[in-house]
Amino acid sequence: MFARILVQEGRLSGEHVAEVLSEKQQIVRKSGLLEYYAAAETFSDVGGLGVLKSWLQKRALAFSDEAKAFGLPAPKGIFLLGVQGCGKSLCAKAVASLWQLPLLRFDMGRMLGSLVGSSEENVRRAVAVAESVAPSILWVDEIDKALSGFQGSGITDAGTTARVFGTFLTWLSEKTAPVFVVATANDVSQLPPELVRKGRFDELFFVDLPSGQERQEIFAIHLRKRKRDSKDFDLGALAAASQNHSGAEIEQAVISGLYDAFSDRCELSTQHLLRALECAVPLAATLDEQISALRSWADGRARNASGLRRSVSICGRVTTDGHG
């Protein structure tokens, strides 16, 4: 690619970054093991999570020669644990946009082959491809689902899942190429302790339900995406009415309100959104016990992505929220 650009243009410059990324896309697609994700999301699309955003922004230049000369090692990765629909996958996509690096999606299920030893070989080939296009970001989404059969792997699949996981763990510990790994999970009970220990990831972040101020930001983001001015809406009332709603549920409330407004043949208003919130039952209410247990586990074990400490409570019990 460099040779072709030099022949055609006679020079290399920042204008050719897109062409180099395009060549990396082709390398990834030809492998058939990793999925190249063209991230269009940015951190302006993510409400709240100030601590996580700050942590990532400080490492935006960590892959440069200047950082290496300063003595900084390339960041290894982060583990995002938290409630469903609160922006873990969105953050993984936003990192790629912030750092201007290719985002590769690692699907553990795609690694499993029918022949003995082929699954482990697929993992080695996949990480080799990720390293060949480094610096890059390797996104392992919902890793807890992929490892759900890890405990009984010796009985259910003759140990294939355990061997695949072992191969991946070894690479995480020993990799030297600048491949930043972003792993996400919802269920801590499915995670082997050796995965979340220090050394394999730089930091373990807990992504909780958004606070009152964060919910206002999320409403403003989704209204802006639908070409509405957030100043025309009572964000304080919407935040109060959406307590214990995740970011994904707030987005659905905005969409539901748009349907109602379109049906009424009028412009979207705060009342449409309040009615949509009133009709919705948040996942936090349905899975109260599981989320409370997840919060209890994360307290003291993981760094809160928003920098807030909240009491473990959802349905009818005291909670520390943005409204006090």
Q: Is residue 312 part of a domain?
A: no
* CA 316/CA 212 separation, integer angstroms: 17
Q: Is residue 39 part of a domain?
A: yes
* CA 164/CA 120 separation, integer angstroms: 5
Question: Do 172 and 220 belong together in one domain?
Answer: no
pLDDT for 157 beyond 60 = no
Q: What local confidence, expressed as pLDDT, does residue 154 receive?
A: 47
pLDDT for 64 beyond 70 = yes
* CA 78/CA 23 separation, integer angstroms: 27
Band of residue 159 on the pLDDT scale cut at 50, 70, 90:
low
Band of residue 323 on the pLDDT scale cut at 50, 70, 90:
very low
Q: What is the mean pLDDT of the chain?
A: 84
For the chain, the domain total comes to 2
Q: What local confidence, expressed as pLDDT, does residue 52 receive?
A: 93
Q: Is residue 110 part of a domain?
A: yes
Are 209 and 244 in contact by the 8 Å Cβ rule? The answer is yes
Amino acid at the residue 150: F
Using only C-alpha atoms, the chain has a radius of gyration, in whole angstroms, of 22
Q: What local confidence, expressed as pLDDT, does residue 309 receive?
A: 55
Question: Do 179 and 233 belong together in one domain?
Answer: no
Task: Output 252 or 122, whichever has higher pLDDT.
Answer: 252
Question: Do 190 and 125 belong together in one domain?
Answer: yes
Question: Do 63 and 177 belong together in one domain?
Answer: yes
184: three-class secondary structure by DSSP: strand
Domain of 233, CATH number, reads 1.10.8.60
Q: Please give the residue range of the domain that contains residue 227.
A: 212-283
Tokens of 287: 């899975």
Residue 140 has phi, psi (to 5 degrees) of -110, 95
pLDDT for 313 beyond 50 = no
Task: Output 59 or 30, whichever has higher pLDDT.
Answer: 59
Using alpha carbons, select from 263, 265, 257, 264 the residue that is nearest to residue 232.
257
Q: Is residue 123 part of a domain?
A: yes
Q: Is residue 71 part of a domain?
A: yes
Q: What local confidence, expressed as pLDDT, does residue 312 receive?
A: 43
Amino acid at the residue 67: A
Sheet with strand 77-82: strands edge to edge: 34-37, 103-106, 136-140, 179-185, 77-82, 203-207, 303-304
CA angle 308, 314, 315 (to 5 degrees): 160
Question: Do 86 and 217 belong together in one domain?
Answer: no
Domain of 125, CATH number, reads 3.40.50.300
Q: Is residue 10 part of a domain?
A: no
Question: Do 240 and 105 belong together in one domain?
Answer: no
